[in-house]
Structure 1
Amino acid sequence: QAALLRAVTQWQRVAAWGRPLHGLCCSARDPRRWVGSRPPTLKETPSDTETEKFQMVYRFGAIRVFGFLSRLKVAQTALTVVALPPGFYLYTQGLMSLGSLCLMGGIAGFALAMLCWMSHFFRRLVGILYVNESGTVLRVAHLTFWGSRQDTCCPVADVIPLMETRDRPQEVFVRIQQYSGKQTFYLSMRYGCILDRERFTQVFG
């Protein structure tokens, strides 16, 4: 995961060479366009937070690339699995050997396993963090299985401060955990950009 993140970040830096400064990852302009053009879906969002204003406190610029990789992996796995029935038909007609059919099955199984592993990580990778004006609700923007954006809200009081976890800020990823144990997210302190350090410290210590 760390090697993949370093490769994606380096690619993004090369692609961004020569662009104006407002296009860098630390920019807070138009944050809802980081994954596709569809509006984000809300999950576990209290009704009273829908009209409340949220302040962006953290942004991970490479999340767009990870969203593209997630959609690409889903499409690649689907094509691999769809090729199995025609392969089995060719085998029954004597046009394909058993070894070739087993190879296709192995490739499809490996693609499914990799999809599950990558999806487990990508769906927990934080793209943007928001905190409401009163400092009581944390909104986490992350990826879905299909590579689109999804917002999840949780009470700030339920977030475990980083000093109470075993993770170190110098690591590539640190975990955002909750006392209730509902869901765990992965935050990149090394490659992400803290936009509001005061609010960020109030949440994570």
Structure 2
Amino acid sequence: MSFLLNSKTFRMKQLMICTSTNWSKMNQPVRLLSNSKTRYPDYETIYQFPLIRVASLVNKLKFCQCVITGAGIPVTSVLAASNIITTDAAIVFATFGITLCAILYTAGFLGHNRVGFIYLKDDSTSIKIAYTDFWGKRVDIEVPVNDVWPMSDIPISPLNPFYYELRRYSSKETLKFNIKGANILNYEKFRLVFGDTVLT
């Protein structure tokens, strides 16, 4: 009897320890911002776009869907020619695959070259820009502050409701970034890079 009581007491203690441990983990804040001091010790994060992971995921899905559709259409065509599957099934697969590719390509356009983070060097001479490429991979580049176009010099575009352009004097490549929905962590330093005109 005493053994059973000791066993129950031991299990109760284990349950209390596990419960307190789980609650302590749940009460810890979730870190959404990139830790620039870990990735870039001499830089401070001044801009973050929370939906950058979604943009990256869409572009990665686009790549996977292209591979599946590109490999699947010849296979289903051979199977249909061999009367293993019906011709209708092969047509449905090809139609569905191509349609889904078109949808993901259209959605991926908004995420292509989308800026997720901007880091400003401690001496305010350069920035590091982290953005997603065509296939959803993160790319980090270093740019002198005086190479960035001020926002007041960027022409108005019909696509401004979706994104603004980030341009550099030294490159023809255009990056995309948002103001609405983004976190500007230091407005003073953000204006130092992009000028006094901060669009909304």
TM-score, normalized by length of structure 2? 0.68
* Cα shift at 1:190: 0.6
CA distance in 2, matches of 1:109, 1:198: 47
CA distance in 2, matches of 1:83, 1:70: 20
Equivalent position amino acid for 1:136 in 2: T
Aligned pair partner of 1:128 in 102, 117, 138: 117
Superposition map of 1:142-181 within 5 A:
142-167=131-156, 171-181=161-171
Partner of 2:182: 192
Superposition map of 1:1-205 within 5 A:
22-23=29-30, 25=32, 28=33, 30=35, 53-167=42-156, 171-205=161-195
Contact 1:141–1:149 (CA under 8 A) maintained in structure 2: yes
What SS is found at the alignment partner of 2:168? coil
Equivalent position amino acid for 1:160 in 2: W
Q: Which consecutive unaligned segments of at least 5 residues does structure 2 have? A: 1-25, 196-200
Higher Cα radius of gyration: 2
CA distance in 1, matches of 2:114, 2:37: 16
After superposition, give the CA deviation of every residue in 1:123-172 in whole Å (9 maximum; x if it has no partner).
3111110111222222111123443322122222221111112349x844
Contact 1:167–1:175 (CA under 8 A) maintained in structure 2: no
CA distance in 1, matches of 2:96, 2:164: 33
Contact 2:62–2:108 (CA under 8 A) maintained in structure 1: no
Farther off after superposition, 125-134 or 65-74: 65-74
Equivalent position amino acid for 2:145 in 1: V
Contact 1:54–1:130 (CA under 8 A) maintained in structure 2: yes
Equivalent position amino acid for 1:30 in 2: N
Aligned residues: 168
Hey, which of these two has a bigger chunk of helix by percent?
Answer: 2
* Cα shift at 1:119: 4.0
Q: Which consecutive unaligned segments of at least 5 residues does structure 1 have? A: 1-18, 34-39, 41-50
Kindly indicate whether structure 1 or structure 2 has the higher relative contact order, using CA contacts under 8 Å at least 6 residues apart.
1
Distance 1:29 1:124, change over 3 A: closer
CA distance in 2, matches of 1:202, 1:108: 47
* Cα shift at 1:63: 1.5
TM-score, normalized by length of structure 1? 0.66
CA distance in 2, matches of 1:130, 1:77: 34
